[in-house]
Amino acid sequence: MRQLWINNHWSAAIDDATFGVIDPATEEEVGRVPAATRADVDRAMQAAQTAFRDWRRVPAAERAELLHEIARRMREHVENLAVTLTLETGRHIDRNRRYVLWSADVFDYYAELGRNDRGRVIPSVEASQLALVLKEPYGVVVCIVPWNYPMLLLAWKIAPALAAGNTVVIKPASQTPLATLDLAHCFEHLPPGVVNIITGSGGTVGDALVTHPATSVIAFTGSTEVGQRIAGLAAERMTKVHLELGGKDPCIIAADADIRTAALGVAWGAFVNAGQVCTSIERIYVERPVYRDFCDCLAELTAGLRVGSPFDPATQITPLIGSRERDAVLAQIEQAQAQGARVVAGGRRPPQLDLGFFLEPTVLVDVPYTATIMREETFGPVAPVAPVEDFEQALALANDSRYGLGASLFTHDPRKAKRFYEEIKAGTVWINDPLTDNLAGPFGGMKQSGIGRELGEEGLAEFLETKHVHWDFEMQPKPWWYPYGDK
């Protein structure tokens, strides 16, 4: 039984309640964690608020060393963390090793970025004055994370938040709290209360964190619906929100693209992590001259992908997070067929796997632009494809969405590439290499995909608040300012 991590101590929830965590590949319980209550949230917030008083004053160089030490400990524990992540997420063990290491890199990156400037000197109004623009930490940052990338999305938040001098209270998703709690071993060297981890339901713990008077920033990744609710509650206290939400990312295949390269790229972008990626490729628009060839190539590639255990080195497609989620994706596939789409690969649960929330990677072709599956987010391994008459039509369709998270294009034509990145309303644009992340590249969404950016310099700026200081050394009485004017 794992426990809550509050003020550098392990503790049970105040009422001792717990809940189980299920392995999506075997459907077995693989751990239990405390189901915290509002009273536990109060303890964690109190610890973080108290710790902030000193943490904000720790010299930047010292803080940098403490963050590098987090990264070092994560690399030391990579194997245990990756195994636990695999048990709770169902994602492939190789990818989880990579993600733990990459999460460690995020701490190293912000450790160094945090050493840099904290504002600037601006021209003062008079010669006897100094005018400063200061960048200060906010206070307690509440981090609420989903189950699809529990450690990476957490690192994207807490590394810059801590580097900026904030303290944090973390709430992992209820499906994936195990590795997050284990990560506390990588925070033991920090002063008490700087990092706190609390598990429990979104409706209880999440809501208590969002509405807590000591919360200065809410950094949330998850669904647009929950994000909208959080933004509404935050508005009541003017709490700063940072929201990374859902997406419906388009991909355009131009007529000049290399078809096999594009099909491989789309298979990767649509099926990695069984399609449970906010920036999954979810709508594919192919210029008519290459449409048939592309569909054939993608269907053939997809049919050859191997579905199975996340611990099997040969596995390419791992399970979905739960049976409810898998059934929702199956229902979306059925609805698409009813609306005119054809399944040319996958489309069902793999018959050879009795246990686990598996779903065959699925290619849908001739999908009408108005079909629900071209408009609503799909969190599963589904690639819906539609032909377009030309690039301009593809661009217009790509932008016709309430979401604006990522977008990708396959072309060697620089005119199409430039037109694409200038016109597309999306936070990340990939040309010929979809879903590649870059520590220095800001990540986030336009439109209803979110507010704010993670990673890069922008990712640090999110956790720093601006203050203007105007200082006059001479304190000269101002003639027009009664009662200090000349008597």
Instruction: Characterize the bridge pairing of strands 464-472 and 4-6.
Output: unpaired
Using rule CB under 6 A, residue 438 touches ligand NAP: no
| Residue 244 binds: one of Mg ion, ligand NAP, none (C-beta under 5 to 8 A by kind) | ligand NAP
**Residues with Cβ < 8 Å from 360, sequence gap 6 or more?**
307, 317, 345, 346, 347, 348, 349, 350, 381
Out of 31, 34, 206, 356, the only residue in the binding site for ligand NAP (CB under 6 A) is: 206
| Binding window for ligand NAP (CB under 6 A); candidates: 23-31, 65-73, 147-155, 258-266 | 147-155
Q: Is 88 in the site for ligand NAP (CB under 6 A)?
A: no
User: Where on the phi/psi map is residue 252: left (φ > 0), alpha (ψ -120 to 50), or beta?
Assistant: beta
Q: What is the DSSP string of 106-147?
A: HHHHHHHHTTS--EEEE--SSTTEEEEEEEEE-SEEEEE--S
- Which is the catalytic residue, given 88, 143, 186, 244? 244
- If phi > 0 it is left, if psi is from -120 to 50 it is alpha, else beta; for residue 168 that is beta
Distances (CA, A) of 34 to 76, 212, 348, 389: 26, 20, 36, 55
Using left for φ > 0, alpha for ψ between -120 and 50, and beta otherwise, residue 336 falls in alpha
- Of ligand NAP, Mg ion, none, which one does residue 187 interact with (CB within 5 to 8 Å by kind)? none
> Is 244 among the catalytic positions?
yes
Between residue 218 and residue 247, which ones bind Mg ion under the rule CB under 5 A? 223
Among 361, 381, 387, 445, binds ligand NAP (CB under 6 A): 445
Question: What angle is formed at CA 426 by the lines to CA 164 and CA 417, rounded to 5 degrees?
Answer: 120
E strand or H helix that includes residue 65 = helix 60-76
Q: The tokens of 248 are what? A: 């419906």
Which one among 86, 103, 167, 174 touches ligand NAP, defined by CB under 6 A?
A: 174
> Structure tokens of 295?
């569909």
Q: Which one of 29-37, 153-161, 200-208, 217-225 is the stretch in contact with Mg ion (CB under 5 A)?
A: 217-225
Residue from 37, 103, 148, 302 binding ligand NAP (CB under 6 A): 148
Residue 449, helix vs strand vs coil? coil
Backbone angles phi, psi at 323, to 5 degrees: -70, -35
126, two tokens: 């008079």
Of 451, 31, 30, the residue nearest 242 (C-alpha): 451
Q: Of 202-210, 254-262, 304-312, 343-351, which segment contacts ligand NAP by CB under 6 A?
A: 202-210
423 is catalytic: no
Of 165 and 206, CB closest to Mg ion = 206
180 makes contact with ligand NAP (CB under 6 A)? no
- Count the site residues for ligand NAP by CB under 6 A: 31
Stretch binding ligand NAP (CB under 6 A), from 73-81, 199-207, 407-415, 473-481: 199-207
| 278 touches ligand NAP by CB under 6 A | yes
CB of 115 to ligand NAP, least distance (A): 27
Q: Confirm or reject binding of residue 316 to ligand NAP (CB under 6 A).
A: no
Select the span of 62-70, 201-209, 329-337, 361-369 touching ligand NAP (CB under 6 A).
Answer: 201-209
Determine the residue type at 154: L
CB of 357 to ligand NAP, least distance (A): 14
Residues that bind Mg ion (CB under 5 A): 223
Which residues have a catalytic role annotated?
A: 244, 278
Q: Which residues bind ligand NAP (CB under 6 A)?
A: 144-148, 153, 171, 173-174, 201-203, 206-207, 210, 221-223, 226, 229-230, 244-247, 278, 377, 379, 405, 445, 450
